[in-house]
Amino acid sequence: MSRISALLAAALCVVVVSGSVNSATAQDRRVPASQAELRLSYAPIVQRVAPAVVNVYAAKVIQHRNPLLDDPIFRRFFGVPGQQPEQMQRSLGSGVMVDPSGLVVTNNHVIEGADQVKVALSDKREFEAEIVLKDTRTDLAVLRLKGVHEKFPTLDFANSDELQVGDVVIAIGNPFGVGQTVTHGIISALARTQVGITDYQFFIQTDAAINPGNSGGALVDMTGHLAGINTAIFSRSGGSQGIGFAIPANMVRVVVASAKSGGKAVKRPWLGARLQAVTPEIAETIGLKAPAGALVASVAPGSPAERAGLKLSDLILSIDGQPVEDPNAFDYRFATRPLGGTSQVEVQRNGRLMKLAVPLETAPDTGRDEIVITAQSPFQGAKVANISPALADELHLDSSAEGVVVTALTDDGMAANVGFRKGDIILSVNNKKIVKTADLERAVSEARRLWRITLMRGGQQIQVMLGG
């Protein structure tokens, strides 16, 4: 074969190969071949699930109080007006019917502080609703429709642990109050932890458009099951920017189950150990290729963790076969385990792998003696309680913590104004040790012009001096 013939043959091969590649690309990207293909749609899924997604309207009465009324001189000369002006504050959200008897799950922030809650169905009917259970730790609440005698359409739960990044999902809710709206997208990420919305930092991230009013609505997978409850968005404008977050269905399932059982609070397993994240420096020290897992920082005496054999500096790698990327992941996975029985926790100890059986039981919650401080003092308006294992777990305190802790603050109280925070542990007041709530109540009953207070916040001891 001549040199020219060889070059022509090579060029022909290139053309043939290129032609086959172009042909494959053309097969991947083609014009729909029939009317049936043009009609491909999410409509069948939407028609099936939309009737189970509701609108939630909450209202509360706000009384506007003139700050001058707190001034004794003003009250002395001008008296106290009889009726203060009131205003109705309303909030709008979405919800999902999870039981045919009329049980609805939504976000707690949608109905927080509400005096009246209404639920509107997709067929425009409205019902009064009562709050069955509120769980601030997950930002979930369960409502029940009042005076109903019919069966309602519901959504079944998906196993959110089986979701994968790239799965197609549909978001249904009532954004901006315009009415029921459907958007679609994919799961952009799983196990998002740096969101700061709830105690359990483990969210599904999606680019399905979620806007104000979508809170409490459904994130649905392609089988028509509830994958999560839409909760928050990341936005610089107040509208959707393609980053929305949903509470995974497996956590929602736990809260709904507690409501169905008649509980007023969600009961979860208690570990009784404080965990910390593995930094790159720690990973290098213990021989890990990359920072992963949850490091045991302390173990409470008599806790399930201690009885299972968990020890200081153990590295938790997985729970029931599911990997633990960080303490947030462990908290979520452990909290979704059913009470009773045990969970198999894999740990690395001194370079050796071992499995420990951790009992799944609730934390003891006795002797809280929760009170609200009303005496004129820096603590006025603070709700305080004795630390129980359950309260320490709830407030993410050290499992060995003891004493009196601030559990809530009124907006108009002195305690909030001077800077106290939920979770502050009061150690002493005017050099008197505070062990029980009765000690604090006694200490603030004495009129003082100067207050010396020692408290613990975030593991740091703080000395405070306030004028009275």
Nearest to 136 by CA among 200, 202, 89, 193: 200
**Residues 251 and 306 occupy one common structural domain:** no
* 37 falls within a domain: no
396 included as an active-site residue: no
* 42 falls within a domain: no
326 included as an active-site residue: no
Q: How many other C-beta atoms can be found within 10 angstroms of the C-beta atom of residue 335?
A: 21
Catalytic residue among 94, 109, 331, 439: 109
DSSP per residue over 126-176, as a string? EEEEEEEEEETTTTEEEEEESS--S-----PBP-GGG--TT-EEEEEE-GG
Residue 97 φ then ψ, to 5°: -75, 120
Looking at residue 21, its pLDDT comes to: 39
Looking at residue 237, its pLDDT comes to: 54
Looking at residue 360, its pLDDT comes to: 95
Looking at residue 5, its pLDDT comes to: 41
Catalytic residue among 139, 221, 331, 393: 139
Q: Is 214 annotated as a binding residue?
A: yes
* 300 falls within a domain: yes
Looking at residue 402, its pLDDT comes to: 82
Q: Is 139 annotated as a binding residue?
A: yes
Looking at residue 196, its pLDDT comes to: 57
Looking at residue 25, its pLDDT comes to: 43
Nearest to 246 by CA among 282, 286, 279, 209: 209
**Residues 246 and 286 occupy one common structural domain:** no
Domain boundary among 318, 335, 359: 359
**Residues 203 and 240 occupy one common structural domain:** yes
The model's pTM: 0.76
Q: Residues 6 or more apart from 408 whose CB is under 8 A from it?
A: 382, 383, 422
* 189 falls within a domain: yes
**Residues 355 and 278 occupy one common structural domain:** yes
* 18 falls within a domain: no
* 268 falls within a domain: no
Looking at residue 394, its pLDDT comes to: 82
Q: Say how many domains are in the chain.
A: 4
Domain boundary among 336, 359, 382: 359
Contact 463, 454 (CB under 8 A): yes
**Residues 256 and 173 occupy one common structural domain:** yes
**Residues 318 and 386 occupy one common structural domain:** no
**Residues 117 and 165 occupy one common structural domain:** no
* 247 falls within a domain: yes
Q: Is 261 annotated as a binding residue?
A: no
* Burial bucket for residue 210 (CB in 10 Å: 0-12, 13-18, 19+): buried
Q: Is 109 annotated as a binding residue?
A: yes
* 29 falls within a domain: no
**Residues 289 and 347 occupy one common structural domain:** yes
Looking at residue 63, its pLDDT comes to: 55
CATH number at residue 314: 2.30.42.10
Looking at residue 2, its pLDDT comes to: 42
**Residues 383 and 447 occupy one common structural domain:** yes
The per-residue pLDDT string of the chain (468 residues; one tens digit each, 9 = 90 and over) reads 444 344 333 333 333 333 443 444 444 667 778 877 777 788 899 999 999 999 999 987 765 555 555 555 555 555 555 555 555 567 788 999 999 999 999 999 999 888 899 999 988 899 999 999 999 888 999 999 999 999 999 999 999 989 999 999 999 988 877 888 899 999 988 876 655 556 667 788 898 888 788 889 999 999 999 999 998 766 555 555 668 889 999 999 999 999 998 888 888 999 999 899 898 888 888 878 888 899 999 898 889 999 999 999 999 999 999 999 889 889 989 999 999 999 999 999 988 999 999 999 998 888 889 999 998 889 999 999 999 888 888 887 876 788 899 999 988 888 988 889 999 999 999 989 999 999 999 998 887 788 999 999 988 899 988 875
Contact 327, 275 (CB under 8 A): yes
**Residues 375 and 354 occupy one common structural domain:** no
DSSP 79: -
Range of the domain at 308: 273-359
Domain boundary among 260, 291, 309: 260
Looking at residue 137, its pLDDT comes to: 87
CATH number at residue 184: 2.40.10.10
Catalytic residue among 188, 215, 343, 388: 215
* Separation CA 129–CA 119 (nearest Å): 7
| Distances in whole angstroms, Cα of residue 283 to Cα of each of 144, 287, 291 | 48, 6, 5
Q: Is 258 annotated as a binding residue?
A: no
343 included as an active-site residue: no
Residue 443 φ then ψ, to 5°: -65, -35
**Residues 58 and 124 occupy one common structural domain:** yes
Q: Residues 6 or more apart from 222 whose CB is under 8 A from it?
A: 45, 167, 168, 169
**Residues 168 and 138 occupy one common structural domain:** no
